[in-house]
Structure 1
Amino acid sequence: MTKNYGLIGAAGYIAPRHMKAIRETSGILKTAYDLNDSIGIMDSFFPDASFFTEFEQFEADVYSRRTDGERVDYIGICSPNYLHKAHMGFALRAGADAICEKPLVLNPSEIDELAALEKETGHRINSILQLRLHPAILALKDKIAQSGPDRIHDVDLGYFTSRGSWYYASWKGYEHKSGGIATNIGVHFYDMLSFIFGPLKSSVVHYRAADASAGYLEFQQARVRWVLSINRAHLPAQTPEGQTTYRSITVDDEEVEFSGGFTDLHTASYHGILGGNGFGLDAVRPSIELVSSIRSAAIEPRKGERHPDLAKVINT
């Protein structure tokens, strides 16, 4: 049966992946909203969809469609992080299920509030956790499982993605809106790590600033040294010339290559949601608890093992 969709944050970077997923799962985008009206991309997917730059108009349009054949079944949410909770609340109260980008929320208490709203409305929240569907990550998860439950693996995670001054002027540069580097950029890595290596046992923060963060994690089956940065000056020496992004994840000194294969992961996520196998609130709770604790934890630079690339971050 064809499903109807609404989309919040339709002019954003990630929204086209949702439009593509809706189309490739035989859905119809009925209505969309964004403050920004640079939204010509919609013509490539759903040229007949309604579009609004005022949320009140979008809200009225969603409610006006609550008739057979027009009812909005799902609302995709690609808005700034700090607005996710409010937009998911709207979706559920409007009689739709929500499909929300990560981080789902900024604080664990918000998950509890959303769980109560799910119960109240009878509708469901689904989170996009596409790394859990990546073939390379699934293969690694199987490999770790086959190594036995008592094997503890050594993992290094380094992610350097250069951002200009625009980043700090946007909502992403304000911790109360984005959650900071570890939340905005790192949350999907932390979710991936718990998905593969089991529950988190402990966390230490070695460094925390507006442009970088680093620490040490222990999961049930892994010891993880991690560092994240958006500062071009922090790029490791081994970064290929001309590139402004460097990512490396090693498990027991073996590089995990999963840079490719991302194109269809949103579509795979939508297939899972439509089949009743989406990732709900319980799935996202561990990563939200972790990023929340990273924001407030005491800095302990000498506790636990430090990522080898952290030295450059600190000394730059």
Structure 2
Amino acid sequence: MKKFALIGAAGYIAPRHMKAIKDTGNKLSAAYDKFDSVGVMDAHFPDADFFVEFERFDRHIEKLKRTSNQIDYVSICSPNYLHDSHIRFGLRVGADVICEKPLVLNPWNIDALKEVENEYGKKVYNILQLRLHPSIIALKKKIEEGPKDKIYDIDLAYITSRGHWYYTSWKGDETKSGGIATNIGVHFYDMLTWIFGGIKENVVHLNTHDRAAGYFQLERARVRWFLSINVESLPDHVKAKGGKTYRSLTMEGEEIEFSDGFTELHTHSYQHILDGNGFGLEEARNSIQIVHDIRHSSPIGLKGEFHPLANGELAKHPFTIV
């Protein structure tokens, strides 16, 4: 049985990590979050020690390091801009690290973390769960077995409605979250480059506080993409049914269904790591470079190969933050 510590226990994604630790037969020994709304721990690890001050959490983990209860893994679910620091903490206390996406905000952070990995002899793993989704694995196999010279036409759209709270939280601060493309798009970009190869051209059409759109020329695909957290950008047929989320991936006009099967992917990711596999620092590099470039690009507006949803009704109105 492996012993885990968790940073960011009050976060949205933390319960999936707790479930993954439990479902793989391991133990959460300690958790930290500066917010104390962590009653979810009762459903998984009620006996885990919990801290709201990082200094006391740090001291506790250091004490365990000198006992038979030393932490084997540190799982990180903290805000994006803190990942780099928390990864370093995990490596320094002699643990391997499992970190939520985005691994870091800038590609050069990966180079620095590789040095820290080497210094402490431990590994950093990134949760890239779409690589473990059966539909995505099947798509990758289809492309690999298809014509080697074919360039595929891909449309990707992901709309996940968020309320006003989002803009007040760290997620609404681009310096902390990396913006929309980083916060909700990074794992899709990883999935696309994993299947269709490296990026040759990266065009940004829109990049605002609540939506982003662009075009990728990959080695084996032309990709139009659109991301949004604004409910008004949902397609009419989704709004008519009261839906709040829309996810679509089409290839050559044919829908690739991958909406189901997400609930267990974190558990699969943990088992993948515990089995001696897992996606390390280099596997994260492509997607981190892409989101960095999007963040530092000047949007060209709605011209060229833009996603149709980028030109929806919402695009006709000024961008405002309440």
Shorter-chain TM-score bucket reads over 0.9
Q: Which deviations, in whole Å up to 9, do the C-alpha atoms of 1:249-294 show, x marking residues without a partner?
A: 1011111111111121111111111122110010000000000000
- Structure 1 residue 194 and structure 2 residue 193: aligned? yes
Bigger Cα displacement from structure 2, 118-127 vs 64-73: 64-73
- Structure 1 residue 254 and structure 2 residue 249: aligned? no
Q: What is the match of residue 169 of structure 1? A: 168
How far residue 68 of structure 1 moved from its aligned partner, in angstroms, is 4.6
Whichever residue aligns with residue 155 of structure 1, its letter is I
- Structure 1 residue 63 and structure 2 residue 81: aligned? no
Q: What is the match of residue 297 of structure 1? A: 297
How far residue 193 of structure 1 moved from its aligned partner, in angstroms, is 0.3
What's the C-alpha RMSD, in Å, of the aligned pairs?
1.1
In the aligned structure 1, how far is the partner of 2:303 from the partner of 2:296?
A: 16
Q: Which deviations, in whole Å up to 9, do the C-alpha atoms of 1:56-101 show, x marking residues without a partner?
A: 1111111100135300000000000000000000000011111000
How far residue 161 of structure 1 moved from its aligned partner, in angstroms, is 1.4
In the aligned structure 1, how far is the partner of 2:25 from the partner of 2:158?
A: 35
How far residue 315 of structure 1 moved from its aligned partner, in angstroms, is 1.5
How far residue 16 of structure 1 moved from its aligned partner, in angstroms, is 1.1
Q: CA contact under 8 A between 2:159 and 2:234: conserved in structure 1?
A: yes
In the aligned structure 2, how far is the partner of 1:227 from the partner of 1:19?
A: 31
In the aligned structure 2, how far is the partner of 1:189 from the partner of 1:94?
A: 32
Q: CA contact under 8 A between 1:32 and 1:49: conserved in structure 2?
A: yes
TM-score, L = length of structure 1: 0.97
Bigger Cα displacement from structure 2, 230-239 vs 169-178: 230-239
Q: Which structure 2 segments of 5+ residues have no match? A: 318-322
Q: Which structure 1 segments of 5+ residues have no match? A: none
Q: Which deviations, in whole Å up to 9, do the C-alpha atoms of 1:6-43 show, x marking residues without a partner?
A: 00001111111111111111111100001111111111
In the aligned structure 2, how far is the partner of 1:123 from the partner of 1:143?
A: 35
TM-score, L = length of structure 2: 0.95
How far residue 232 of structure 1 moved from its aligned partner, in angstroms, is 1.6
Whichever residue aligns with residue 297 of structure 2, its letter is A
Q: What is the match of residue 182 of structure 1? A: 181
In the aligned structure 2, how far is the partner of 1:209 from the partner of 1:100?
A: 26
Q: What is the match of residue 122 of structure 1? A: 121
- Structure 1 residue 219 and structure 2 residue 218: aligned? yes
Q: What is the match of residue 316 of structure 2? A: 315
How far residue 245 of structure 1 moved from its aligned partner, in angstroms, is 1.3
Q: Partner of 1:65: helix, strand, or coil?
A: helix
Q: What is the match of residue 227 of structure 2? A: 228
User: How many residues align structurally?
Assistant: 315
Q: Partner of 2:237: helix, strand, or coil?
A: coil
Q: CA contact under 8 A between 2:206 and 2:302: conserved in structure 1?
A: no
Whichever residue aligns with residue 145 of structure 2, its letter is Q
Q: What is the match of residue 320 of structure 2? A: none
Q: Partner of 1:185: helix, strand, or coil?
A: helix
In the aligned structure 1, how far is the partner of 2:86 from the partner of 2:228?
A: 29
Bigger Cα displacement from structure 2, 261-270 vs 69-78: 261-270
Change (3 A) 1:136 1:63: same
Q: What is the match of residue 131 of structure 1? A: 130
